[in-house]
Amino acid sequence: MTADPFAPHALRTTPGIAAATTDLTKVHGSGDTRVVALDRVSIEFREGEFTAIMGPSGCGKSTLMHCAAGLDSPSSGSVRVGTTELSALDDRQLTQLRRDRIGFVFQAFNLLPTLTALENITLPLSIAGRRPDQQWLDRVVAMVGLSQRLGHRPAQLSGGQQQRVAVARALASRPAIVFGDEPTGNLDSRAGAEVLGFLRESVRELGRTVVMVTHDPVAAGYADRVVFLSDGRLVDEMTRPTPDRVLDRMKAFDTRAHTG
């Protein structure tokens, strides 16, 4: 019988790790068009922590998030959610894992216009044939301030309110980890601050794990730590970030780009 190549990783899995990558590599194209989007990235996302992923445009931020969330397949390396090795799952199992254990918040709100806010929030559960945990759902809805808007359709909501619906939808299934890809990119500063506050509160009050790709130092300031990518590699990490510290670090990327 062939040994399980991922068994050593499983044996060494550290308690409290919501997701992790090991030597994660993603290559697009071949020959003259070959581009290395991720170059042997190893990172852990700890339970109950808010991590922001930052770096220059094209550094691999979104690719890292998509691979870690099971939305894209790596060229090589390992991705785990909890203790589950994603490469060991077939398409059906991977779909089920994303549905049950992962929440997503994207820059586009991705709401169905014919459904009410409540119907949009519970749609993934409805598709899965599951009833929401009403106590949990009430708590999530109250946290994002939508209790008086549940009967409204997206066209009756502001952009900030629509993204609140998207955040509530991501949390409704009690996922182990929530991934956000520029979740405030389409919002003004006030609405963006509200959404970031809800993501922050979901970590502090609900015990979720949040991983967010962003280019905004102010958004990164809501996180517990910031990891920096450059040219597909993990190059730095900052704990207890502030917008000014993050901005200074990002300026160093710009300086190197212009002098390199």
189-240 pLDDT tens trace: 999 999 999 999 999 989 999 999 999 999 999 999 999 999 999 999 999 9
Q: Residues near 58 by Cβ (< 8 Å), separated by ≥ 6?
A: none
Task: Establish if 94 belongs to a structural domain.
Answer: yes
Pair of tokens at residue 110: 């991705």
- pLDDT at position 58, please? 84
Q: What is the pLDDT of residue 66?
A: 93
DSSP code, position 30: -
Instruction: Evaluate whether residue 3 is within a structural domain.
Output: no
The contacts of residue 72 (CB under 8 Å, 6+ apart) are 26, 63, 66
Whether residue 21 is contained in a domain is answered as: yes
* Contacts for 202 with CB less than 8 Å, ≥ 6 apart: 143, 167, 171, 178, 208, 210
Domain extent, residue 138, equals 12-259
What is residue 30's predicted lDDT score, i.e. its pLDDT? 85
Give me the number of domains the chain comprises.
1
Show the low-confidence residues of the chain (pLDDT under 70): 1-15, 254-260
How confident is the model at residue 253, as a pLDDT? 74
Q: Provide the pLDDT for residue 255.
A: 60
Instruction: Give the pTM.
Output: 0.87
CATH of the domain at 200: 3.40.50.300
What's the pLDDT tens digit per position in 87-101? 999 999 999 899 889
What pLDDT score was predicted for residue 128? 85
**In-domain check, residue 200:** yes
| 220 within a domain of the structure (yes/no) | yes
Evaluate whether 154 touches 188 at the Cβ level (below 8 Å).
no
Q: What is the predicted pLDDT for the residue at 252? A: 81
**Residue 4: inside a domain, yes or no?**
no
Q: Is residue 99 part of a domain?
A: yes
> Is the residue at 7 inside a domain?
no
